[in-house]
């Protein structure tokens, strides 16, 4: 389950930011996850709860913001929505689409308290 490693990385980032800013308690962590990134939100919630127990984020709420898939079609020159990796362009039907969004994961916000 790669969500455990992702949750550990999120906690590492949160702990580093907390130390750098003198924060002793985190209330909420907001994470953006692309819909094409193959991350299970349910599994990430479970893993976050497990790895945050002995950290400044113990008891914190994990909020996941979904980022839609998007790409640039090299054939028709349009920015298009993507429902799957390596999918065809919904405009021209060709498969020369470069993904521009939807596979990212980033800590967007940390609420302290």
Sign, CA torsion 55/57/62/64: negative
Question: 26 CB contacts (<8 Å, ≥6 apart)?
Answer: 14, 18, 56, 57, 60, 110, 111, 112, 113
Supply 45's token pair. Answer: 């919630």
Instruction: Tokens for 21, please give them.
Output: 């800013």
Which helix (H) or strand (E) is 48 found in, with range? helix 41-51
Asked whether residue 89 is marked as a ligand-binding residue, the answer is: yes
The answer to whether 73 is annotated as binding is yes
2 is in an annotated binding site: yes
Residue 92 annotated as binding? yes
Alpha-carbon Rg for the chain, nearest whole angstrom, is 17
Query: Which positions make up the binding site for Zn(2+)?
Result: 73, 76, 89, 92
Query: Which positions make up the binding site?
Result: 2, 73, 76, 89, 92
Query: Which positions make up the binding site for Ni(2+)?
Result: 2
């Amino acid at each position: 389950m790669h969500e455990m490693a992702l949750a550990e990385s999120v906690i590492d980032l949160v702990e580093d930011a907390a130390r750098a800013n003198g924060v002793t308690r985190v209330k909420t962590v907001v994470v953006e996850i692309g819909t094409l990134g193959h991350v299970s939100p349910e599994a990430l919630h479970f893993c976050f709860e497990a790895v945050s127990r002995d950290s400044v984020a113990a008891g914190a709420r994990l909020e996941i913001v979904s980022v839609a898939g998007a790409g640039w079609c090299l054939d028709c020159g349009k920015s298009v929505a993507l429902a799957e990796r390596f999918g065809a362009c919904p405009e021209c039907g060709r498969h020369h689409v470069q993904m521009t969004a939807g596979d990212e994961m980033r800590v967007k916000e940390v609420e302290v308290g």
